[in-house]
Amino acid sequence: MPLSIRNAGDSRLFVVERFGYIKVLNNDGSVNSTPFLNIESQVADSEGIGQEGGLLGLAFHPDYQNNGYFYVHYTDNLDDTVISRFTVDPANPNLADSNSEMIVLTVDQPFPNHNGGDLAFGPDGYLYIALGDGGTFSDSANNGQRLDTLMGKILRINIDGPLPYSVPSDNPFRTDGDPNTLEEIWAYGLRNPWRISFDSLTGDLWIADVGQGTREEINLQPVSSLGGENYGWRCYEGYNSYNLTACASEESMTFPIAEYPHVSAGPFRCSITGGYRYRGNNIPGFYGIYFFADHCSNDIGTLSYDGLNWNIDFSASFGEQGFAGFGEDQNNELYVAALTTGNIYKVVEETLSDQPQNFQTLKLTPNPADDMVHIHGINNILHWELSDILGKRIQMTIPGPGIDTEISLSGLAKGLYIVSVLDASGQLYRRKLIKK
């Protein structure tokens, strides 16, 4: 049951599995028979309805190649949150020392859901930890807004100073004067920030927060932030007011850069799985676009900026996948973990032809389109195909002269697709297509 994917600066991927395993996925697709880490006996049995615990997150120390430290986020047999450090076996890079655990932080959890689950090192070298509001309907304890609890927060701690950790001197609430305020807090007002990530180019922090009953939201904290943002929950769910009792002013809130509804004209969506802003080289048309998924609808979303607004597009559904987490490899290419099927998928686009540059331009009209799209701008088309954003072919032509340059979209779900066109010289062209 894979939940998350990380790399340690080499060609391997490390796959976090819910029941307490971390497995090594090699670049040829093989999985090592012996897990990198096995803490099954320490991890909560979380198969029941409403249970969201288990081994949830992994982060390698920025100096992992030298110190061998990595950090995990899990819920223990009491359903409490544990952040621990482990060390790799110095004699075997594919095996962790299971006896090396040093507990960094524990958080008593009142309920077995809304644990958050992620952790990541920022460009400042500090460890950021995402924690949910502790569960129950509507955050009845108002944990998201309280500064005397770690629940519903992003924490920021220094794990390179005195053990088990220290609080950075520039954390926003370190000197607020209230003895009840917890200094580890970096940002608050979150319901269940299941997945967070740092932009590998800019250092910006992306926070995908799972909503209550109507909205899913994406928050962006710029690298220049001094922390202290209030992202609104439980006062607001997305842009909408939820429970304004004893809330600060609307002006003091930091609202998401994008949100989407649970009920819309398309499939039912209910639980965002945050991903990454794409910084790889294999899919240049998607460079700088933020990828995410919805666990309920089994589709993948993209968030792009047009200079004025952030815009969300969705792929068609991929069936019962249960997308639970994304990951980057050492080259910033993206992967997604499917909890339901147990599969790991790579987000791919076939390598562009290395023929000499051709100044023809592939055009699709209309785009976005409802039922039919027309291919323009390419002479002597030999072949075209329509695929989803994971590379699964949906339609294709038989190669040959005089092929039809109209693509029927009848029966396709709304979302994002890729049209690939090959001309008679062997030049390959691609363009994104949005089905309305």
User: Is residue 357 one of the residues assigned to a domain?
Assistant: no
Cβ(72)–Cβ(84) under 8 Å? yes
Are 281 and 142 in the same domain?
A: yes
* Final residue belonging to a domain, choices 289, 319, 346: 346
Q: Which stretch of DSSP H or E encloses residue 67? A: helix 64-67
Q: How many Å apart are CA 121 and CA 197, to the nearest integer?
A: 9
pLDDT, tens digit (0-9, with 9 covering 90-100), for 232-242? 999 999 999 99
pLDDT, tens digit (0-9, with 9 covering 90-100), for 200-221? 999 999 999 999 989 999 999 9
Are 329 and 367 in the same domain?
A: no
Are 161 and 284 in the same domain?
A: yes
Task: Give mean pLDDT, residues 51-72.
Answer: 94
The helix/strand/coil state of 193 is coil
pLDDT, tens digit (0-9, with 9 covering 90-100), for 411-434? 888 888 888 888 776 667 778 888
Are 180 and 37 in the same domain?
A: yes
Are 44 and 170 in the same domain?
A: yes
User: Is residue 356 one of the residues assigned to a domain?
Assistant: no
User: Is residue 353 one of the residues assigned to a domain?
Assistant: no
Assess whether pLDDT exceeds 80 at residue 13: yes
Range of the domain at 402: 363-435
Token output for 324 = 């639970």
Are 296 and 368 in the same domain?
A: no
The helix/strand/coil state of 65 is helix
Q: How many Å apart are CA 62 and CA 58, to the nearest integer?
A: 13
CATH, residue 136:
2.120.10.30
The helix/strand/coil state of 426 is coil
Dihedral angle sign, alpha carbons of residues 211, 215, 221, 226: negative
pLDDT, tens digit (0-9, with 9 covering 90-100), for 328-356? 999 999 999 999 889 999 988 642 222 22
Are 308 and 242 in the same domain?
A: yes
Number of domains composing the chain: 2
Cβ(101)–Cβ(162) under 8 Å? no
* Final residue belonging to a domain, choices 346, 380, 398: 346
Cβ(316)–Cβ(293) under 8 Å? no
Backbone angles phi, psi at 162, to 5 degrees: -60, 140
Strands (E), 256-343: 258-261, 272-273, 290-294, 299-305, 310-314, 323-328, 334-338
pLDDT, tens digit (0-9, with 9 covering 90-100), for 132-164? 998 877 999 999 999 999 999 999 999 999 999
Token output for 363 = 């055009």
Are 342 and 396 in the same domain?
A: no
Residue 231 CA neighbour count, 13 Å, CB half = 35
User: Is residue 351 one of the residues assigned to a domain?
Assistant: no
What predicted TM-score, i.e. pTM, was given to this entire model?
Answer: 0.81
Share of the chain above pLDDT 90, in %: 63
The helix/strand/coil state of 100 is strand
Are 368 and 342 in the same domain?
A: no
Are 391 and 243 in the same domain?
A: no
Q: Which stretch of DSSP H or E encloses residue 73? A: strand 69-75
CATH, residue 418:
2.60.40.1930
Task: Give mean pLDDT, residues 374-380.
Answer: 83
DSSP 107-152: E--SSSS-----EEE-TTS-EEEEE----STT-TT-TTT-SSSSTT
The torsion region of residue 139 among left (phi > 0), alpha (psi -120 to 50) and beta comes to left
Are 306 and 374 in the same domain?
A: no
Token output for 389 = 């954003």
User: Is residue 164 one of the residues assigned to a domain?
Assistant: yes
SS3 assignment for 236-261? EECCEECCCCCCCCHHHCCCCCEEEE
Assess whether pLDDT exceeds 90 at residue 361: no
User: Is residue 168 one of the residues assigned to a domain?
Assistant: yes
Token output for 290 = 């933020």
Average pLDDT, rounded, for the chain? 89
User: Is residue 354 one of the residues assigned to a domain?
Assistant: no
- Of 374 and 146, the structure prediction assigns the larger pLDDT to 146
Are 138 and 101 in the same domain?
A: yes
